[in-house]
Amino acid sequence: MPIPTPQRRNRSHRRLALALIAVGMVLTACSSSAPKLAPGLMPVDQARNLNQAVTLAARGDKAMERGKIDDAIEQYRKSVQAYDKFSAAWNNMGVALMSLDDFATAEEAFIQATISDPTDPRPRYNRGLLFLERGYPADARRYFGEALHADDNYLDAMIGAIRADALLRIETEETLDLIRKALFRVQSVEDRQWLERNRLRIEEARSSTMFGS
């Protein structure tokens, strides 16, 4: 699967760019990355801190686009120092750290992002990717499941859960349901072919077990 990240790697399960949160929209549109209290309803000092955090995180996003990962991390750190409940900055900092294989610090950032906004599935999905990357599919599956609990239409979490089930060799009817659901949402031919291959393989295996052949 294509991975449009500044530091692209040949690992088909890493879809970091899709888990980045666009921080520039926080003050102009309702999004899952926005704090629960609208800036206009905040005390003046908090609103000022949030505005500063958004500006700094947007600089981090631009640095990520240019492949300047260390600069991005510095901007994200400044952003959460300005406003420590800014989920988008925590999440995107985790993405940047993960791209440098700093998995322990990345996980801490994803945890903070989830605490700041429990409704956003992306930090949980990213945490699942982190564990999948390190070879712990059972832990990864749990976090992909949590992401789907937050948003049952989140395609990347579906794909992650399907991959984890395959690695764990515990593909069930739930796995097939996820594949069928994902097939209605994927757009690339490559993704669709991968899902169809897995669907056929699981159905054939289940049929063989059912009829004892």
pLDDT recorded at residue 81: 97
For the chain, give the mean pLDDT. 83
pLDDT recorded at residue 45: 85
Residues of the chain under the 50 pLDDT cut? 1-14, 16-18, 24-34, 36-37
Show me where the domains of the chain are located: 1-120
Residue 42, number of CB atoms within 10 A of its CB: 15
How is residue 43 written in tokens? 């005390």
How is residue 191 written in tokens? 């993704």
pLDDT recorded at residue 72: 96
3-state secondary structure labels for all residues of 51-106: HHHHHHHHHHHHHHHCCCHHHHHHHHHHHHHHCCCCHHHHHHHHHHHHHCCCHHHH
Q: What pTM was computed for the model?
A: 0.81
Q: What is the dotted CATH code of the domain comprising 1-120?
A: 1.25.40.10
How is residue 33 written in tokens? 């990355």
